[in-house]
Amino acid sequence: MAKKSILGIGLAGLAAVFTLAICVPVQATDVAPISAPATTDVNRHFEDDYFTGSSDNNTFESSKDVRHNLFEGGNLIHSKDKVQGLYFVAGNSLDLESVTDYSFVAGNVVTIAGEVKNDVFAAGNIIKFNGKVGRDVYAAGNEVTFQKG
């Protein structure tokens, strides 16, 4: 009987120490606020090797040749990219003459006139396929049309 009560007291003591260790208050340090960019121009083009796009109403022209995934975004996009990987595009009006492995597209008016070697996943109001698709098309839209490209 004595062994059980000593074991119980020992476990209770261990639990109390563990609880105290978790509940020890930590003092927070001051964090400097992130300063805003010096420019107030919100209509900018941005581009790097993995993401391109535009935040203004001008047509964003793109003709990259990459061997990795690519993300593009903007209001009006006209693309002639060659993407060996996954191609993600989102915008209002998309005119895609790209050659890609896989395409994931979302927009109001979408035209796919290039070549997708494998699958296309598209969502939008008006979706037009004028190009070549190697395997499957998954499309959700108000108006979806297929024309021989």
Predicted confidence at residue 101, as pLDDT, reads 96
Rounded to whole angstroms, the Cα distance separating 42 from 22 reads: 46
Confidence of residue 143 (pLDDT cuts 50, 70, 90): very high
Q: Which tens digit of pLDDT belongs to each residue from 63-111?
A: 888 888 989 888 999 999 999 999 999 999 999 999 999 999 999 999 9
Q: Which of 9-23, 39-53, 115-129 has the lowest mean pLDDT?
A: 9-23
Q: Which tens digit of pLDDT belongs to each residue from 6-41?
A: 544 544 444 444 444 444 454 545 545 544 444 444
Predicted confidence at residue 53, as pLDDT, reads 67
Reduced to 3 states, what is the DSSP secondary structure of residue 42? Answer: coil
Contact predicate 103/118, CB 8 Å? no
Partners of 104 in the β-ladder: 88, 121
